[in-house]
C-alpha cells in the first residue's frame, strides 16, 4: 500500500529524518530505501525522490530475481482492486505455511545512477521545464557532501551489519512521527495499516 511510503525530495530532508531516529535504525533506512522517478501533477516531468516504507512490511526480503519472488504484480488479480499493481502486491504462486515471503525489489529501484544523482546534485523541477544544478546542500555539522556509501561509513553501518535489532512497533511509530516532523504535516505521515508478515499465521 503506497500510503506507507515516506518520500524524500532532497538530501536535506532525508538527513533531518536520519538524525531524528536512533543511529542503528538510520542504517536500516539506508538499506531499505530506494530511488524512483515520480510523476509531477500537471506536468510531463518526473522528479527523483528517495522512498522508504515505514511499516513492518519493509522486513520482506529481496528475492534478488523476479523468478524467485512469490509476491509482486499479478495483472489479472490487479484488475479486481482499485489501484491495481500501483497500490497492491499479490501472491504470484501458492505460498506454503512457514515459507518466506520474497519480493523482487529490482523492479522499481531506479538504480545506482539515480542514487548518485539524489546524493550528488539538487534537482529542481518546474511545471514545464527541468533545471538541474550541481549544487551541494551543505550541512557542515553532519556529512556536508556525503554520498550514500560515505554516509553509511559515517554512521558505522558496516560494524553493525548482522547485529541490528528488528524494529518493534514502537520504533515504527517513532520513525513515522519523525517523518511527520520532517515534512511538517502529520497527515502526510505513512499510516500503520499493514499486518506484520512475521505475525500473520493464516
d(CA 49, CA 115): 9
Q: With the CA atoms of 22, 11, 187 and 29 taken in that order, what torsion angle do they form, in degrees rounded to the nearest 10?
A: -40
List, for residues 77-95, the tens digit of each pLDDT value.
Answer: 999 998 888 788 899 999 8
8 Å CB contact between 62 and 68: no
8 Å CB contact between 87 and 107: no
Q: Which three cell numbers stand for residue 100?
A: 518466506
d(CA 148, CA 115): 8
The residue ranking higher by pLDDT, 144 or 117, is 117
Pick from 108, 91, 88: which is nearest to 99 by CA?
91
The residue ranking higher by pLDDT, 178 or 154, is 178
What burial class does residue 17 get, using C-beta atoms within 10 Å of its C-beta: 0-12 exposed, 13-18 middle, 19+ buried? buried
Share in percent of the chain as helix, strand, coil (round to 5)? 40, 15, 45
State the chain's mean pLDDT as an integer.
70
The pLDDT of 47-74, averaged and rounded, is 78
pLDDT band at 110 (very low <50, low <70, confident <90, very high): low
Q: 5 has which bridge partners?
A: 53
Amino acid at each position: 500500500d503506497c500510503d506507507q511510503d515516506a518520500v524524500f525530495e532532497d538530501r536535506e530532508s532525508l538527513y533531518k529524518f536520519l538524525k531524528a531516529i536512533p543511529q542503528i535504525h538510520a542504517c536500516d533506512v539506508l538499506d531499505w530505501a530506494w530511488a524512483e522517478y515520480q510523476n509531477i501533477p500537471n506536468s510531463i516531468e518526473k522528479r527523483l525522490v528517495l522512498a522508504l516504507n515505514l511499516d513492518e512490511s519493509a522486513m520482506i526480503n529481496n528475492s534478488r530475481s523476479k523468478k524467485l519472488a512469490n509476491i509482486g504484480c499479478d495483472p489479472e488479480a490487479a484488475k479486481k482492486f482499485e489501484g491495481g499493481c500501483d497500490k497492491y502486491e499479490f501472491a504470484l504462486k501458492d505460498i506454503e505455511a512457514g515459507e518466506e515471503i520474497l519480493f523482487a525489489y529490482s523492479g522499481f529501484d531506479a538504480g545506482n545512477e539515480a542514487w548518485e544523482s539524489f546524493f550528488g546534485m539538487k534537482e529542481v523541477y518546474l511545471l514545464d521545464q527541468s533545471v538541474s544544478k550541481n549544487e551541494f546542500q551543505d550541512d557542515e555539522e553532519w556529512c556536508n557532501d556525503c554520498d550514500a556509501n560515505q554516509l553509511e561509513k559515517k554512521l558505522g553501518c558496516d560494524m553493525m551489519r548482522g547485529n541490528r535489532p528488528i524494529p518493534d512497533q514502537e520504533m515504527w511509530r517513532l520513525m513515522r512521527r519523525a517523518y511527520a516532523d520532517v515534512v511538517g504535516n502529520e497527515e502526510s505521515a505513512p499510516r500503520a495499516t499493514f499486518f506484520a508478515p512475521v505475525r500473520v499465521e493464516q
